[in-house]
């Protein structure tokens, strides 16, 4: 099937998973499988879908690559682009698939790698050409404009994402209190743009900058939120279908 290259209308789609899923079988599995089932359905008949994987945030961790193939090989054709690939190979790879799944790890190292190789531009072009972009943790937030990331000394700093979606994003929201507290404080102090915060076991499907669906895989209270400063105080409200980001 591959991404849409015709003159038909193309939608910019992001499928952001807060945490868990097939790369973390000791955390929320098998409940989280519903997140991936929903992802596959976004691209049409599973038997014809081609799913690609980037493990650049975790330096192509072999266990995660094997987990990717195992999870999707019975419902789709699976392909992996190694971290050694250049922008030309990435462009060909992205044009041959329907869904890209980006694994977790160091968001900052991944973004720097994409900038150095030119893969960032290939990703942006593919997104506007109809490729569904998905991922967990680092692979969930890299698509946004502003990011709060762990930098030197294990401290959080603000960095630019790919800018495909406005505002900021935070994974593992209630699952990592230190990350949550820093995200909230930066927004409250006007240092970080308002944005979405996603708990583990939750996915947010965004189409053209508007929330299309919120998928909750677990039964232990995980949710997705929109966090902003309102009347001088922090506002953290449940994310809603149809809500426009930014």
Q: What is the pTM of this model?
A: 0.94
Q: Quick one: pLDDT at residue 45?
A: 73
Q: Quick one: pLDDT at residue 104?
A: 97
Q: Which residues of the chain have pLDDT under 70?
A: 1-9, 28, 46
Q: What is the pairing mode between strands 144-150 and 156-160?
A: antiparallel
Domain annotation for the chain: domains and CATH numbers: 13-238 (3.40.50.880)
Looking up tokens 């072009």 gives 125
Residue 94 exposure: Cα atoms within 13 Å on the Cβ side: 26
DSSP class per residue in 166-178: EEEEESSTTT-HH
Say whether 137 is catalytic.
Answer: yes
Question: What pLDDT digit, counting tens, does each position of 95-109 carry?
Answer: 999 999 999 999 999
Q: Quick one: pLDDT at residue 97?
A: 97
Question: What pLDDT digit, counting tens, does each position of 2-52 carry?
Answer: 655 444 557 999 999 999 999 887 776 788 999 999 999 998 776 789 999
* Alpha carbon distance 170, 198 (integer Å): 6
- Of 31, 33, 23, the residue nearest 63 (C-alpha): 23
Catalytic option among 56, 76, 80, 137: 137
Q: What is the pairing mode between strands 77-81 and 13-17?
A: unpaired
Q: Coil, strand or helix: which one is 5? A: coil
Q: Quick one: pLDDT at residue 33?
A: 93
Q: Is the C-alpha dihedral spanning 1, 33, 197, 110 positive or negative?
A: negative
Q: Coil, strand or helix: which one is 239? A: coil
Instruction: Give whole-number Cα distances, 158 to 41, 57, 76, 161, 184, in Å.
Output: 34, 17, 37, 10, 13
Catalytic option among 172, 182, 186, 205: 172
């Amino acid at each position: 099937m591959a991404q849409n290259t015709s003159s038909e209308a193309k939608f910019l789609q992001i499928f952001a998973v807060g945490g868990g899923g097939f790369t973390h079988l000791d955390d929320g599995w098998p409940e989280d499988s519903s997140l991936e089932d929903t992802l596959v359905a976004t691209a049409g008949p599973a038997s014809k879908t081609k799913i690609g994987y980037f493990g650049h945030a975790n330096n192509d961790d072999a266990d995660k690559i094997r987990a990717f193939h195992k999870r999707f090989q019975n419902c789709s054709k699976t392909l992996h682009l190694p971290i050694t690939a250049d922008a030309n190979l990435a462009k060909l790879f992205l044009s041959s698939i329907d869904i890209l799944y980006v694994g977790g790890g160091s968001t900052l190292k991944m973004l720097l790698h994409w900038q150095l190789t030119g893969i960032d531009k290939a990703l942006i072009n593919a997104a506007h050409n109809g490729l569904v972009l998905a991922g967990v943790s680092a692979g969930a937030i890299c698509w946004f404009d502003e990011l709060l990331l762990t930098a030197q000394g294990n401290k959080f700093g603000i960095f630019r994402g790919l800018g495909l979606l406005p505002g900021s994003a935070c994974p593992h929201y209630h699952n990592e209190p230190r990350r949550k507290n820093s995200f909230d404080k930066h927004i409250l102090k006007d240092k970080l743009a308002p944005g979405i915060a996603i708990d583990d076991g939750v996915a947010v499907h965004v189409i053209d900058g508007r929330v299309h669906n919120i998928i909750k895989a677990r039964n232990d209270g995980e949710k997705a939120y929109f966090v902003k400063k309102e009347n001088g105080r922090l506002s953290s409200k449940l994310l809603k279908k149809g809500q426009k980001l930014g």
